[in-house]
Amino acid sequence: MRYFFNCKPTLLPTFILLVLSSQTMAKETNKNFEHIAIFGDQNTVNDIPGSAHLISESELEKFDFTDIMRTLTAIPGVYILEEDGYGLRPNIGMRGTGQNRSEKVTIMEDGVLAAPAPYAAPSAYYFPTAGRMQQIEVLKGTSSAIYGPRTTGGVINLLSRKIPDETLSGELKVTAGEDNFAKFHAFAGGSGQNIASLVELFNYQADGFKNINHTNTDSGFEKNDILTKVKINSDPSSGYYQELEFKVKYSDEKSNDTYMGLTDNDFKTSPYSRYSASQLDNMTTTHKQLQINHSVKFSELYQLGTSFYYNDFARNWYKSNKIDGQSIGGEGIKIASNFDKANQETPLEVQIKANNRNYLSKGVQSILSADLNEHQVKFGIRYHQDEMDRYQWVDKYLLDNNYIISLTDPGIPGTDSNRVDSAKALAIYIHDEVSYNDFMINLGLRYEDMTIERHDWGKNDPKRGISPSYKVNKLDVWLPSVALTYRFDKDIVLLAGIQKGFAPPAPGNETAQDEESINYEMGVRLNKQVFHGEIISFYSDYNNMHGNCTASQGCEDDNVGNQYNAGEVKVTGLELKTGYEFKNVSFSIPLDFTYTYTQTEFLTDFNSNLDTWSNVSKGDNLPYVPSNQFQLSTGLVFEQWRSDVIIRYTDDMRTTAGTGTIPSEQLIKSRTVVDLSAHYYLTKNQGVTFAVDNLLDNEYISTRTHGSIMVGKPRTFSLGYKYQF
């Protein structure tokens, strides 16, 4: 893997000097224009022909979540699967796509692809640090058709902090909580006439809420994030106004995380425990990013935005894989459970796999926007390359009757999984927004040309000295979309759309099929002063849905990476979001309600070794898609303080495809989780925050995807302080 640069804290003084030097320059306002955002503000969202939501900075600050999944439950049609309790491994799906590692959703940061290898290996073991984001944009259905490569479910675009318009401004936030949770977030930046800059630091950590049996090892984590931006712009009086922005980011993580969950009996008696066999399980990551954005305004009618991006991500998830030769997705969990309950004389053999992988993602993209009166035209092009380099091994340990684990047989790197999956893709799209009286027609066409390859050296050539086996899959696809909005009056908009959905095939199989669907939506949107609401029905008609076997789903070693085709699948649903703000002279009460109803159905019979599908019969429902889920948020806002509460409900879910009554061993029971946050403003620029996650201390199963039970985070308290300047 090529390391493009090393971002170290020693660079920070340079950027701080840039920030301070900008104070000597006269500030110029109203000159910024961006192409990294999909839409700019809430008013723009209201005119988008399809499901589109903006989570603003003020909304994010209410609860100040570091867990992206807790944030996204405010959006209808979005499904999440918690895993570690802190949002380190997000599992996000949209409109029934499936949530496994967010692989069916297009994840972007500042308008560019953010997954480690979006085409070759989309499973998002890396996810942008949600706690430092300033806004989040979410698109589904026809609204997301021009973004790819995955267009069936939707798009999440996380927007990092903009450089402040002020000469100098910044913020400092510190938070402490239970389980030694701590968060430090600070930024400073400023703008002058021709140069602007920003430095942002983000750190959060905890000891974890799980206790590892018979050990002193904690189940916690630490994550660091450093972001710097420098922007240079021409004089406003120049012939073609231009901006050039450099964004450099470094992040790392150490987390004592595992795939080992609990048996049903252990969940009932000790839900926040972990087996001693998992005491060495650990994930280490580093992520380095360079993004260069250039914008030029040729005239009031034509603008061009271009981004170059380079992401280098390395990770090694060193985790228990087999117990006494048995997979943890099978009998291994029961063996680990029984060992912790009895002081046995016979030691336990624990195989720990080094899931060592390096990722590279890079590309360049441009968007030309043209304002042609009745036609608002966008033409976009992107050339992208990515790869995943798997270089793994297995170490063998003995766990003795004192629960001390010792290395007995170190593995040789490259003797487990030893391959490179890579992809090259050219994407071109054109989008025309046509206005005619109260009608607006959106016509889109996207073209993708992809080459997806695998070079596999097997398990007997760790030095990669001989020619690897080689498989390639070449394909191209045309993806049209049509959407229509009709403004019934100034407050009510009717909308409808149809688009072709797509997801690329997995590498390693030259006959693997891509995923294709035809997606429909229809609804109405209302915005009137203090009331807003929308209701949208959707229907996704899959010609072929595919599922990729990953370790995160509990798949056996030899099966990881294989793709299974489900054929025809039908997903239907209803999304509702409405809000109202009651205002009084001295206080206000905001109300917001989000609801999603979903029905899924396989339309063909087939057999697979994908744990969550297994053997499917026509009429079976998809796993991990609740029929009903809703969220109600409300608060009480005064001039000097405010308090907000979220009530989040998720219906019963099945963990394996099926129909009718869900067997107990395949059931995730419905749950209601309540979060509370309160802010008190000491002065105009400083305040304190008190927050409680899972206020009612509900013990619940979050997922069974690893062949055992992973538990949701219990009630936790935190207290924070914020200072702005």
Name the pLDDT band for 15 (thresholds 50, 70, 90): very low
Cα 630 to chain center, whole Å?
Answer: 20
Note the pLDDT of residue 8: 38
Name the pLDDT band for 29 (thresholds 50, 70, 90): very low
Name the pLDDT band for 566 (thresholds 50, 70, 90): confident
Mean pLDDT in residue range 570-598: 97
CA pair distance 546, 567, nearest whole angstrom: 8
Q: Give residue-wise pLDDT tens across range 216-236.
A: 999 999 999 999 999 999 998
Q: Look at residue 5 and give its three-state secondary structure.
A: coil
How do 615-616 and 606-607 pair as beta strands?
Answer: antiparallel
Q: Give residue-wise pLDDT tens across range 136-178.
A: 999 998 888 888 898 888 999 999 999 999 999 999 999 999 9
Longest dimension (CA), the chain: 82
AA letter at 215: T
pLDDT at 17 over 50: no
CA pair distance 252, 65, nearest whole angstrom: 19
Side-chain half-sphere exposure of 397, counting CA atoms within 13 A? 23
Note the pLDDT of residue 345: 78
pLDDT at 28 over 70: no
Q: Give residue-wise pLDDT tens across range 496-524.
A: 999 999 999 888 777 678 899 999 999 99
Name the pLDDT band for 48 (thresholds 50, 70, 90): confident
Q: Give residue-wise pLDDT tens across range 465-485.
A: 999 999 999 999 999 999 999
The CATH superfamily assigned to 9-724 is: TonB-dependent receptor, beta-barrel domain (2.40.170.20)
pLDDT at 293 over 60: yes
Name the pLDDT band for 13 (thresholds 50, 70, 90): very low
Those residues with Cβ within 8 angstroms of residue 455's Cβ, 6 or more apart along the chain or in another chain:
419, 420, 422, 468, 469, 470
Q: Give residue-wise pLDDT tens across range 234-283.
A: 998 888 999 999 999 999 999 999 999 999 999 999 999 999 999 999 99
Percentage of the chain modeled with pLDDT above 70: 92
Note the pLDDT of residue 489: 87
Nearest to 14, CA basis, from 256, 229, 235? 229
Those residues with Cβ within 8 angstroms of residue 437's Cβ, 6 or more apart along the chain or in another chain:
none
CA pair distance 217, 145, nearest whole angstrom: 47
Give strand ranges (E) for 181-333: 181-191, 195-206, 211-212, 221-233, 241-255, 273-274, 282-297, 302-323, 326-327
CA pair distance 349, 139, nearest whole angstrom: 48
AA letter at 410: P
Query: Which structure tokens are listed for 123?
Result: 């499973």
Name the pLDDT band for 561 (thresholds 50, 70, 90): low
CA pair distance 222, 663, nearest whole angstrom: 38
- Does the N-terminal peptide bond of residue 118 adopt cis geometry, omega within 30 degrees of 0? no
Owner of token pair 């280098």: 312
The angle formed by the CA atoms of residues 455, 460 and 464, to the nearest 5 degrees, is: 45
Mean pLDDT in residue range 389-405: 96
How do 154-159 and 106-109 pair as beta strands?
Answer: parallel
| N-to-C CA span, the chain | 41
Question: What is the helix (H) or strand (E) element at residue 441, kind and residue range?
Answer: strand 439-456
Which range is least confidently modeled, 15-29, 280-294, 520-534?
A: 15-29
Q: Look at residue 102 and give its three-state secondary structure.
A: helix
Note the pLDDT of residue 334: 95
Note the pLDDT of residue 5: 31
Residues in the chain: 725
Domain extents for the chain?
9-724
Residues 127 and 102: beta-carbon distance below 8 Å: yes
Side-chain half-sphere exposure of 328, counting CA atoms within 13 A? 28
Nearest to 557, CA basis, from 421, 394, 428, 692? 394
Query: Which structure tokens are listed for 319?
Result: 């985790």
AA letter at 297: K
Note the pLDDT of residue 144: 84
pLDDT at 124 over 80: no
Those residues with Cβ within 8 angstroms of residue 238's Cβ, 6 or more apart along the chain or in another chain:
none
Strand partners, 52: 139
Query: Which structure tokens are listed for 371?
Result: 């304002």
Query: Which structure tokens are listed for 269?
Result: 């008696």
Note the pLDDT of residue 9: 38
Nearest to 573, CA basis, from 606, 622, 615, 612? 622
Those residues with Cβ within 8 angstroms of residue 262's Cβ, 6 or more apart along the chain or in another chain:
270, 271, 273, 274, 275, 333, 337, 708, 709, 710, 711
Q: Look at residue 544 and give its three-state secondary structure.
A: strand
Note the pLDDT of residue 22: 38
AA letter at 337: S
pLDDT at 24 over 60: no
Note the pLDDT of residue 607: 85
Give strand ranges (E) for 66-220: 78-80, 92-94, 106-109, 112-113, 135-140, 154-159, 169-177, 181-191, 195-206, 211-212
Residues 459 and 415: beta-carbon distance below 8 Å: yes
Q: b/e per residue, 678-700, with b = 16+ CB within 10 A?
A: bbeeeeeeebebebbbbbeeeeb
Query: Which structure tokens are listed for 715?
Result: 């009630």
Please provide the average confidence, as pLDDT, over all residues in the chain: 91
CA pair distance 556, 622, nearest whole angstrom: 21
Residues 89 and 257: beta-carbon distance below 8 Å: yes
List, as one string, the DSSP characters of 449-468.
EEEEEEEE-TTS-TT--SPP
CA pair distance 104, 506, nearest whole angstrom: 12
Those residues with Cβ within 8 angstroms of residue 416's Cβ, 6 or more apart along the chain or in another chain:
353, 354, 392, 393, 394, 459, 557
Region for residue 85 given its phi and psi (left: phi exceeds 0; alpha: psi -120 to 50; beta: otherwise)? left
- The DSSP code for 162 is P
Residues 122 and 452: beta-carbon distance below 8 Å: no
Q: Give residue-wise pLDDT tens across range 50-103.
A: 889 999 999 999 999 999 999 999 999 999 999 999 999 999 999 988 888 888
Note the pLDDT of residue 711: 97
